[in-house]
């Protein structure tokens, strides 16, 4: 009996001793921060949303493995925004009120991001808009919303500069799709080109559902510009390029950055190559890319292939989503998870990501100086190269 009591006492003491380090650990234990990520996981932009989800997961895995968010671990909660404002509004509401996320990232299309940003702003949940480039999303949404990608006005300023360097032209035709990208592109690029002394001889928006571009191509022939400058999103851009090539047009063609590299080349690489299509890009895999970019590509592409079931060459949408998770981790490490502190830390971000160096201006838009921007050309074989 005495032996049993002694054994019990020894066991308790031993157990207590063994438990001490565990208790000490518990005092500095990691806290989990829920990060809501809204992406188009269904619908006609899911081609981009699904790989971007893989990129976000990769970032969270790295943050958690290397302790990049200090004492915090990231728990990503995904919601489908479908590139629609109504769906994204619902997704943001769900993430905040049901999943209780403490910070959000997303969406893809600007109209959808505007919707989610309003929900985040009302709930005082910090949010990073990492892909949508419409001007002033963060500025208009208020102090909890940050835009970590260059805005349309800045992109187009950069595109216009490069256009004037790379092409010799005095007249231009502007063609846009009648959507958020197209219309802001049209407004900005026209203003910039005219300021630089370029005459805009044609300026036409085309309805986003109208796949027949032949009448506009006839107008281009009539106006005879030195260059055609267009902002048309993925599916429509392929229709336009096919019809432009079929019409045997020789006028040089420049595209704003939305048609996704590689996917677009799969659709109309041959025709785009024949035209020597040049377009803007934040990123293209090439031998001269930075070590950070090389490391990202090496880690991301095998994982994306495994998750998506097919090879997926890296595009900038993947990298900015990865960087957005890293930005959040960096801010968490510096300031903790309280919404006001986190928002203040994001505002003071000075973070070197894979794609850019991230710093925010007073309106919480990212400073464009941190971004590289290049022109890419479709080669006659349907490949892609950076325009030197």
The residue among 135 and 159 lying less far from another protein, judged by its C-beta, is 135
Binding status of residue 205 toward another protein by CB under 8 A: yes
Which segment (72-80, 216-224, 231-239, 356-364) binds another protein by CB under 8 A? 72-80
Start-to-end CA span in the chain (Å): 88
The residue among 139 and 242 lying less far from another protein, judged by its C-beta, is 139
The DSSP letter of residue 109 is S
Single out the residue of 207, 164, 153, 221 nearest to residue 361, CA to CA: 153
The residue among 41 and 278 lying less far from another protein, judged by its C-beta, is 41
Q: How far is CA 171 from the centre of its chain?
A: 32
Which segment (20-28, 135-143, 354-362, 364-372) binds another protein by CB under 8 A? 135-143
Single out the residue of 28, 27, 105 nearest to residue 70, CA to CA: 28
Binding status of residue 56 toward another protein by CB under 8 A: no
DSSP-derived 3-state class of residue 367: coil
The residue among 89 and 296 lying less far from another protein, judged by its C-beta, is 89
Q: How far is the CB of 210 from another protein (least distance, A)?
A: 11
Q: With the C-alpha atoms ordered 305, 47, 138, 369, is the resulting torsion angle positive or negative? A: positive
Q: With the C-alpha atoms ordered 70, 128, 317, 158, is the resulting torsion angle positive or negative? A: negative
Binding status of residue 382 toward another protein by CB under 8 A: no
Single out the residue of 341, 379, 347 nearest to residue 365, CA to CA: 347
Phi, psi torsion values for 103, nearest 5 degrees: -155, 150
Give the number of other CB atoms < 10 A from CB of residue 209.
Answer: 8
Binding status of residue 90 toward another protein by CB under 8 A: yes
Which segment (62-70, 180-188, 278-286, 369-377) binds another protein by CB under 8 A? 180-188
CA distances from 41 to 13, 49, 115, 274, 380 (A): 54, 5, 17, 33, 33
Give the number of other CB atoms < 10 A from CB of residue 336.
Answer: 15
- Are 236 and 208 in contact by the 8 Å Cβ rule? The answer is yes
The residue among 80 and 293 lying less far from another protein, judged by its C-beta, is 80
Q: What are the residues facing 199 on neighbouring strands?
A: 171
Per-residue binding string, another protein, 4-43, x by CB under 8 A, is -------------------------------------xx-
Binding status of residue 187 toward another protein by CB under 8 A: yes
Binding status of residue 118 toward another protein by CB under 8 A: yes
Binding status of residue 147 toward another protein by CB under 8 A: no
Binding status of residue 84 toward another protein by CB under 8 A: yes
The residue among 72 and 144 lying less far from another protein, judged by its C-beta, is 144
Phi, psi torsion values for 252, nearest 5 degrees: -55, 145
Binding status of residue 203 toward another protein by CB under 8 A: no
The residue among 152 and 378 lying less far from another protein, judged by its C-beta, is 152
Task: Please select the residue that binds another protein; options are 137, 189, 281, 324, rule is CB under 8 A.
Answer: 137
Give the number of other CB atoms < 10 A from CB of residue 97.
Answer: 11
The residue among 87 and 251 lying less far from another protein, judged by its C-beta, is 87
Number of Cα atoms under 13 Å in the Cβ half of residue 33: 31
Binding status of residue 135 toward another protein by CB under 8 A: yes
Write out the residues near another protein by the rule CB under 8 A: 41-42, 46, 78-80, 84-87, 89-90, 93-94, 96-98, 110-111, 114-115, 117-118, 122, 134-137, 140-142, 178-181, 183-184, 187, 205, 207
């Amino acid at each position: 009996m005495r032996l049993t009591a002694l054994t019990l006492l020894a066991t308790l003491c031993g157990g207590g001793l063994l438990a001490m380090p565990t208790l000490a650990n518990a005092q500095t234990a990691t806290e989990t921060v829920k990060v809501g990520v809204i992406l188009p996981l269904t619908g006609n932009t899911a081609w981009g949303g699904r790989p971007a989800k893989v990129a976000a997961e990769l970032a969270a895995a790295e943050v958690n493995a290397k302790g990049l968010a200090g004492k915090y671990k990231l728990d990503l909660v995904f919601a489908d925004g479908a590139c629609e404002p109504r769906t994204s509004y619902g997704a943001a509401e769900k993430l905040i009120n049901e999943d209780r996320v403490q910070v959000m990232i997303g969406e893809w299309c600007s109209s959808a991001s505007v919707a989610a940003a309003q929900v985040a702003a009302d709930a005082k949940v910090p949010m990073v808009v990492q892909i949508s480039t419409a001007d002033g999303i963060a500025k208009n949404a208020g102090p909890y919303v940050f835009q970590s990608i260059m805005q349309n006005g800045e992109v187009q300023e950069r595109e216009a500069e490069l256009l004037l360097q790379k092409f010799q032209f005095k007249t231009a035709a502007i063609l846009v799709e009648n959507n958020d990208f197209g219309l802001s592109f049209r407004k900005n690029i026209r203003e910039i080109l005219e300021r630089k002394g370029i005459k805009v001889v044609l300026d036409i928006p085309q309805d986003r559902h109208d796949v027949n571009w032949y009448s506009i191509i006839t107008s281009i022939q009539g106006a005879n510009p030195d260059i055609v400058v267009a902002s048309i999103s993925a599916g429509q851009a392929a229709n336009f390029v096919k019809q432009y090539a079929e019409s045997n047009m020789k006028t040089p063609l420049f595209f704003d950055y939305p048609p996704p590299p590689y996917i677009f080349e799969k659709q109309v690489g041959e025709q785009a190559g024949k035209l020597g299509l040049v377009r803007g890009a934040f990123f293209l895999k090439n031998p001269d890319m930075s070590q950070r970019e090389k490391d990202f590509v090496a880690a991301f592409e095998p994982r994306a292939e495994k998750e998506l079931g097919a090879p997926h060459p890296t595009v900038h949408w993947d990298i900015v989503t990865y960087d957005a998770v890293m930005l959040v981790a960096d801010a968490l490490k510096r300031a903790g998870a309280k919404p006001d502190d986190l928002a203040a830390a994001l505002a003071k971000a000075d973070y070197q990501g894979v794609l850019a160096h991230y710093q925010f201006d007073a309106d919480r838009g990212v400073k464009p100086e941190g971004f590289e921007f290049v022109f890419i050309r479709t080669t006659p074989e349907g490949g892609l190269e950076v325009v030197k």
